[in-house]
Chain A
Amino acid sequence: MIRSAGLICCLLAAPAAADEIWVTNEKDDTVSVISIDTLEVIATYPTGERPRGITFSKDYSVVYICASDSDAVQVMDPATGEILHDLPSGEDPEQFVLHPNDRHLYIANEDDAITTVVDTQTRQVIAQIDVGVEPEGMAISPDGTIAITTSETTNMAHWIDTETQELFANTLVDSRPRHAEFVHDGAQMWVSSEIGGTITVFDTSDQSEIGKIDFEVPGVHRDRVQPVGFEFSADERTAFVALGPSNHIAVVNTETLEVKDYILVGRRVWHMAFNADKSLLFTTNGVSGDVTVIDVANRTALKSIDVGRFPWGAAFRPTQ
């Protein structure tokens, strides 16, 4: 009875763990863990070489990390930072996406022009799909029926039927497509093109192009405006687009496809992740080696937090 009371007291006295943002540091071979409460780095864990893509399992019990130069997807215990095991990933895995079944990882192998599908439970490769040259961006529809790979050099979005693990469509986009996302319950699919400086919006039902978003940051040369990662607000009416070396995040109205605002962040902004209620957005700034925190409602940058060298990917982890 006394022990139970003591335990309850301890639990009450212990501060509640804050939600976290996990960031891969491409040049440091580490991941930095940021506390969303204090906006400070609370842990740094070593990884394989050149970590880039990062995502959590559905129950957040493990975190998957693309260790590109180690040619592996590493599986880490987020509670301890210990690498549990590697998954076979094919060569140079850069980005990946976890199927809604929480089991199949679709991995872009940049050097091999293939997309590898790995079963995270059996740790076996279940399919390898030929795609365009230098695949990078990966997305999966909310119902899990369509996977997308974008190829940087072929300038295409490749549409994969996840039932057959075969391509059923290829659509041209502007130069060097980097990132893809489904939106509006999978009705639309967006692809960013780094060199083209655009985002192309597709109708998922027939893979036709619905529109294109252009960016023009005042005072910044057009060549520096390079859209890469992007995410959607909770109501999906707004998209936040990282514009690479222009050091800005574009705020886009998803209905009119017009840019409403630009937010100044750190140098060479690449990818981003929201907190739980999507009130804060965390952007990875490669060259300045920090993460900028954006107040989504006010569209203002609040703080930039130093992490490791060349932060690349970001993922949210709830702890409560």
Chain B
Amino acid sequence: MSRYLTALIAIVLREALRFVHQRERFVAALVRPLVWLLVFAAGFRAALGLSIIPPYQTYITYETYIVPGLCGMIMLFNGMQSSLSLIYDREMGSMKLLLTSPLPRWWLLTCKLLGATAISILQVYAFLAIAAALGIKMPVAGYLTVLPALVVAGLMLGSLGLLLSSFIKQLENFAGVMNFVIFPMFFLSSALYPLWKMAESSELLYNICAVNPFTHAVELIRFALYVEFNGPALFWTVLAAAVFTVAALWGYSPRITGPRGRG
């Protein structure tokens, strides 16, 4: 058992060290949502207030509305970033070292997933702190109750990144991930606008948004930030996480990657 723990600590520490050494990555991870919060949201400020939808009890400004969506955005980009680092590891050969360890491959990949999730949660809390300093505050208890929601959302998006990395052979192909995964997932969700607003313009787009697992991750975070539980969002996020994890483990199994792994 201690070998498992040693591997977990080593992999999570490696992720943390990589994150600390890449300060520009941390800054970039914060600048992206802050640009959305300060520039994009300013254009759509909705100074007269958005209609009341759960979990909000009263009228809110657009800045307040998009904060949970931007938390999800941080986790989405981080999940993809960690998949990028896996492809990089594979190209540099360090993946080979990792996967040839005597520990089961599923455990090693789970350690990678946990490491990536922990890093993205740190980024989300840094973003929430800056948002609070800018006057966009959540209920105090919400900063605590959001933690489990962030863990679930982080695992779901991290496992998606893991799944993608098992199928992408070269770093250059990652641009396709941006166009075909990140952008559609982000824009076809409730991160930027309430789903009822989407339903007004297109029923089809609304239905796509409603089945997008990222929508459920964002709603899970949104409700948790306001100390409320969203059962359906939790169910769909956990289900998506389980499906992505199983598929990623299958993608990384020796039968698929070859006896020495693709790396």
**Which residues of B from 60 to 99 have beta carbons under 8 Å from A?**
60-61
Chain A residues, CB < 8 A from B235: none
B57 touches A247 (CB 8 A): no
Most chain A CB neighbours (cut-off 10 Å) among B48, B49, B58, B61: B58
B58 touches A303 (CB 8 A): yes
Chain B residues, CB < 8 A from A220: 47-48
CB distance from B130 to the nearest CB of A (A): 20
Chain B residues, CB < 8 A from A288: 59
Chain A residues, CB < 8 A from B48: 220, 224, 246-247, 267
| Nearest A residue to B64, CB-CB | A264
A219 touches B47 (CB 8 A): yes
B116-151 Cβ-contact flags toward A at 8 Å (1 or 0): 000000000000000000000000000000000000
CB distance from A126 to the nearest CB of B (A): 44
Q: Is B5 located at the chain interface by the 8 A CB criterion?
A: no
**Chain B interface residue count, Cβ-Cβ cutoff 8 angstroms:** 10
Chain A residues, CB < 8 A from B61: 264
Q: Is B52 located at the chain interface by the 8 A CB criterion?
A: yes
| Nearest B residue to A266, CB-CB | B59
Q: Is B262 located at the chain interface by the 8 A CB criterion?
A: no
Q: Is A265 located at the chain interface by the 8 A CB criterion?
A: yes
Chain B residues, CB < 8 A from A217: 47
Q: How far is it, in angstroms, between the C-alpha of A38 and the C-alpha of B45 when the chains are bound? A: 32
B57 touches A303 (CB 8 A): yes
Q: How far is it, in angstroms, between the C-alpha of A303 and the C-alpha of B61 when the chains are bound? A: 14
Q: Is A304 located at the chain interface by the 8 A CB criterion?
A: yes
CB distance from A205 to the nearest CB of B (A): 40
Chain A residues, CB < 8 A from B57: 302-304
B59 touches A292 (CB 8 A): yes
Q: Give 6 pairs: A residue, B residue, CB < 8 Å, sorted on A.
A: A218-B47, A220-B48, A247-B48, A267-B48, A303-B57, A304-B52
Given contacts A219-B45, A265-B49, A292-B59, 19 further A-B contacts (CB under 8 A): A219-B47, A247-B48, A247-B49, A247-B59, A264-B47, A264-B49, A264-B58, A264-B59, A264-B60, A265-B59, A293-B58, A301-B58, A301-B59, A302-B57, A303-B57, A303-B58, A304-B52, A304-B57, A304-B59
By a beta-carbon cutoff of 8 Å, the part of chain A in contact with chain B is 217-220, 224, 246-247, 264-267, 288, 292-293, 301-304
